[in-house]
Structure 1
Amino acid sequence: MYTAALPDPQYQPEFYADIAPKRLMAWLIDFALILALTLIALPFTAFIGLFFLPFLYAAVGFVYRVMTISGGSATLGMRVMSIELRNAQGETLDLGSAFLHTLGYYLSFMMALVQLGSVVLMLTSERGQGLTDMVLGTVMVNRRL
């Protein structure tokens, strides 16, 4: 499944060093940014969005994640933490891959046990992959400088 284009965790561990805590910090940054964007979007819904705020947050977050990941293979939080997503060929994610990765993230997030399993995989797998990463063949790596 993985090609020579991806760094080997045995021979190039620096690409996978501290990925799990960096993912957590990136998630917190993205959470705050998505919340801010959701609050900015509220007046455009004539404040009706207050009645379905979790759904508005989810919709804004979905679009944010797909657009930022397809635009540079990382959300803004990931960029701050100097990490990025790569596909099995070592390439950045395109729009379709970013959509599928975000969809997988949302599906796993909707089921607590699946999300917990994904976090455990991030902490224990050789490449620090979550469930969605394993299904799609993507990896989170420290950005090449």
Structure 2
Amino acid sequence: MTMTLPHPEYDAQFYESVPLKRLIAFFVDIVLIGLISAVAVLALTLFTLGLGIFLTPMLVLLISFLYRWRTIAVNSATPGMAFMGIELRNRAGHRLSSQDAFIHTGIFVALTLTLIGWIATVISIMATDRHQGLPDLLLGSVALNRPAD
């Protein structure tokens, strides 16, 4: 079955409020990642008699990556995105595969590790007609209001 991405002018309902929804979804996901990370860091710290605390940055980065990759691979959306009613689609209009989700997550995490990368992604979302962040532009993906498949 051949699909395409909705046109931003003719199918505007798919793109309405997406930048705001992406922002809220980002913060919902940050809270969830923070909670998961807090439990993991506490468990690791207790298990290693305090030495695990030094691994906190790496553990949080790993949890963040795995959280995004797995949830996007399964649902084409993180829990925050699903809560806000948006999902990622590839250039053909299909949900992201596990491989696409891995690459998208890798680019996203790498960009958000720097302030410049994060700002460039936000500007890209605001400036493009499909509200695509830098990872989306590189992969040809787009965040849409969830279609009624």
Q: TM-score range by the shorter chain?
A: over 0.9
Q: Equivalent residue for 1:75?
A: 78
Would the alpha carbon gap of residues 14 and 49 (structure 1) be closer, same or farther in structure 2, given more than 3 Å must change?
farther
Tell me the CA shift for residue 49 of structure 1: 3.5
In 2, the alpha carbon distance for the partners of 1:78 and 1:25 equals 8
Give the conservation status (yes or no) of the 8 Å contact 2:3–2:94: no
In 2, the alpha carbon distance for the partners of 1:121 and 1:87 equals 17
RMSD: 1.4
Say yes or no: does 1:58 pair with 2:61: yes
Say yes or no: does 1:96 pair with 2:99: yes
Deviations 1:45-89 (A, max 9, x none): 225432232221110010010000000100000000000000001
TM-score, normalising length from structure 2? 0.90
Tell me the CA shift for residue 115 of structure 1: 1.9
Q: Equivalent residue for 1:5?
A: 4
Tell me the CA shift for residue 4 of structure 1: 5.7
Instruction: Could you list the structure 1 runs, at least 4 aligned residues long, displaced by more than 4 angstroms after superposition.
Output: none
Deviations 1:13-38 (A, max 9, x none): 11001111100100000001001111
Give the conservation status (yes or no) of the 8 Å contact 2:91–2:141: yes
The more displaced of 135-144 and 106-115 is 106-115
In 2, the alpha carbon distance for the partners of 1:48 and 1:126 equals 48
TM-score, normalising length from structure 1? 0.93
Q: Equivalent residue for 2:33?
A: 34
In 2, the alpha carbon distance for the partners of 1:67 and 1:4 equals 24
- Structure 2, unmatched stretches of 5+, are none
Corresponding residue SS for 1:51? helix
Q: Equivalent residue for 2:143?
A: 140
Give the conservation status (yes or no) of the 8 Å contact 1:30–1:75: yes
Larger Rg: 2
Where do 1:109-124 residues align within 5 Å? 109-124=112-127
- Identical-residue share of aligned pairs (%): 36
Give the conservation status (yes or no) of the 8 Å contact 1:49–1:56: no
